[in-house]
Amino acid sequence: MTDATIRAAEILKEHRESIDRLDAILVYTLAERFKHTQAVGRLKAAHDLPPSDPKREERQIERLERLAKEADLDPEFAKKFLNFIISEVIRHHEKLQK
């Protein structure tokens, strides 16, 4: 292997280690988020509130799109990601209402 290839392998390893740490952060962040949304779902169920709040969801999507643009992340990807999370939260809230 050439020096350049060895250096490239070292850089690749560093990037992958960083990606692995970021994946862990994402998982723990999502877990914490869902703990709170579960609490919201229980509160809504206890007070007979609807499982979804379309106006809040719309505001959140707009907010996330703005944040994505600021962070130089594809806003469409961010929107799809939040829509997926919202659909999971609503599904959990509907289960709690039954």
d(CA 11, CA 18): 11
Least confident segment among 30-34, 66-70, 94-98: 94-98
Alpha-carbon radius of gyration of the chain: 19
pLDDT of residue 95: 86
Residue 37: alpha-carbon gap to chain centroid? 12
CA distances from 8 to 18, 20, 43, 60, 75 (A): 15, 18, 52, 40, 31
Answer yes or no: is pLDDT of 25 > 90: yes
- Position 73 confidence tier, pLDDT thresholds 50, 70, 90: very high
Residue range 42-65: mean pLDDT, rounded: 93
φ, ψ of residue 87 in degrees (nearest 5)? -65, -35
Answer yes or no: is pLDDT of 97 > 90: no
Q: Provide the whole-model pTM.
A: 0.79
For residue 46, give the DSSP letter: H
